[in-house]
Amino acid sequence: MPNVQELRINGKAVRVEADRERSLLGVLRDDLGLSGAKYGCGEGRCGACTVLIDGTPTRSCITKLGAVASREITTIEGLEVDGKLHPLQEAFLDAGAMQCGYCTCGMIVTGVALLREKPQPTREEIVEYMDGNICRCGTYPRIIAAIRRAAQAVKEARR
């Protein structure tokens, strides 16, 4: 029997009729058409499904809908502001930090959280923070370059 859930997604109140036990990823993709987060392993091990819950990178495949009712959920679709991509989205494009793109949304969402915590991360800090996100195409060097590029772009924009 579906329950009505009031969610906050990308700054907006959203009402869904869904069982509290369903995965957040399934509801985002199948009920709400937010298909940026991907189903990879389904076990919390690859990061393809990552979204931010109250700013913290969270595996939506293993997060139950009932656990996020009053929390702020941010998906890749919510990073763009007034038609402008987030600097990290721009940097991924500029650095060509993707091949098949399956991991990309999870990488970017996780990278955004990193840059909020550490605006100028070292290479080692990037590697450590991004460690749980898997890219089967092996684009790690370009992903690291994109994060460093975004950090630099934000720094220069503040001058």
**Rounded Cα–Cα distance for residues 113 and 130 (Å):** 10
- Smallest distance from ligand FES to CB 71, Å: 17
β-pairing verdict for 3-9 and 12-18 = antiparallel
Say how many residues make up the chain.
159
**40 interacts with ligand FES by CB under 6 A:** yes
- Smallest distance from ligand FES to CB 158, Å: 30
- Count of beta carbons in the 10 Å neighbourhood of residue 143: 26
Alpha helices, H only, the chain: 24-26, 87-95, 104-117, 123-129, 140-158
**105 interacts with ligand FES by CB under 6 A:** no
**140 interacts with ligand FES by CB under 6 A:** no
**100 interacts with ligand FES by CB under 6 A:** yes
When the beta carbons of 127 and 154 are compared against ligand FES, the nearer one is 127
Q: x-or-dash pattern for ligand FES, window 119-138, by CB under 6 A?
A: ----------------xxx-
Instruction: Using alpha carbons, select from 69, 63, 5 the residue that is nearest to residue 37.
Output: 63
Contacting range for ligand FES; rule: CB under 6 A; set: 38-46, 73-81, 84-92, 115-123: 38-46
